[in-house]
Structure 1
């Protein structure tokens, strides 16, 4: 199942900590309730992105893995 995202962050080819740093900057610029799709290739994002969401209060709506690409749908918390 794929969700329609309001914004996309492509972090393919980047390694830890760059995907989460980019995610932090991107989320800061989004409106509350926005659905962001993150595309990454670094396996450490499987650990880092859920922790990021939990720590900052964003909702990890869905995550998938497709042939070495990791997909995340994150809803920015309501402020």
Structure 2
């Protein structure tokens, strides 16, 4: 796992589509532009959904990883979101 200095952590492990992205959407609304969120999920569909979420809403997917059935994402809140 990449050890980025994150401002926020969202643990969505054990949740299934669409819950991880719904929680992510709500959490991103509370962040300031430029803040970095670390999302952890166990639902494989996040591999498709999270990058699309970022592209659609103008957030930056800084990095992602898979580690022992956990899908991790580092997302920086975009200025237009």
Which TM-score band (shorter chain)?
over 0.9
SS of residue paired to 1:29 = coil
Q: What is the TM-score of this pair, normalised by structure 2?
A: 0.95
Question: How far did 1:78 drift?
Answer: 1.8
Aligned to 1:20: 21
Q: Give me the CA root mean square deviation.
A: 0.7
Question: Runs of 4+ in structure 1 displaced over 2 angstroms?
Answer: none
Q: Does 1:37 align with 2:38?
A: yes
Distance 1:35 1:21 in 2: 18
In structure 1, stretches of 5+ residues that fail to align are none
Number of equivalent positions: 79
